[in-house]
Amino acid sequence: MQIDILTLFPGMFEGPMTESMMWKARDQGMLDLRMHDIRDYSQTRYRSVDDMPYGGGGGMIMKPDIVVRAVESVLGDAPEGTPVILMTPQGRMFSHEIAVSLARLPRIVILCGHYEGIDERVADLVVTDEISIGDYVLTGGELAAMVIVDAVVRQIPGVLGAEGGAERESHADGLLEAPHYTRPPVFRGLEVPPILLEGNHAAIERWRRVEGLRRTWKRRPDLLLKMKLSEADQYLLAQFADEDAQNAAQHDQS
């Protein structure tokens, strides 16, 4: 997969995009990540890229001619339908589903905004998608772009390796993951759930499903509303609620 990033600050990507899983994906040829400095497309002596906003107000706006020139040059002979994604707090909210769908594409282009924003005509002319990573404002789109790249790249088949498959992780099936443990079996008096030590894989899978469901119910009940729950799942949820009510009653008595 090829990912092109247009930014005023290519140096920001150097650490995060050259370590760990990202390094492995690039080293093994599964990810071709290319950085493009938008300033290279400025034609002024001081390589300026911004100007004052029409109508007044604070901050500077990235100029449409420069940004459009940069995007069109990077797109070059990109496959038809290659998305050009603008990182902005005004975009649609990023999610696991979006990461999976982007990972299926041969190529994506990500445009990072800075200053107060980008002239709206850039969005009108060359942007095909606008994505936000949360309801807060970052100084620029760079950190958001890195979040997207990380989440997308781990969905590329082969990047995580067989045992660390992306299918079982939190959000992949709409649920949070069950808790994880490693040695020792008892640490500061806290025991690893015995079922995990017994080697019965079917029982372990069932336990993980129950605990994933329990975690989701406790921490992110909003996710359950979006899921199709089986009868067994609904029975478990009723059980969690019962247990909770019993615990609360016991707590009240003591």
CB of residue 76 to ligand ADE, shortest distance in Å: 25
Binding site for ligand ADE (CB under 6 A): 87-89, 132-134, 136-138, 141, 144
DSSP single-letter state for residue 192:
P
Query: What is the rounded CA–CA span in Å between residue 52 and residue 50?
Result: 7
CB of residue 114 to ligand ADE, shortest distance in Å: 9
Burial of 254 from C-beta contacts in 10 A (0-12 / 13-18 / 19+): exposed
Q: Which is nearer to ligand ADE, 96 or 209 (CB)?
A: 96
Q: Which is nearer to ligand ADE, 120 or 198 (CB)?
A: 120
Judge whether 213 and 237 are in contact, CB under 8 Å. Answer: yes
CB of residue 138 to ligand ADE, shortest distance in Å: 4
CB of residue 112 to ligand ADE, shortest distance in Å: 8
Q: Which is nearer to ligand ADE, 88 or 216 (CB)?
A: 88
Alpha helices by DSSP H, listed for the chain, are 20-27, 64-75, 96-103, 120-125, 142-153, 201-219, 221-225, 231-253
CB of residue 12 to ligand ADE, shortest distance in Å: 13
Q: Which is nearer to ligand ADE, 38 or 175 (CB)?
A: 38
Name the closest residue to ligand ADE (Cβ): 144
Q: Tally Cβ neighbours within 10 Å of residue 223.
A: 15
**Residues β-bridged to residue 110:** 5, 85
Q: Which is nearer to ligand ADE, 44 or 95 (CB)?
A: 95
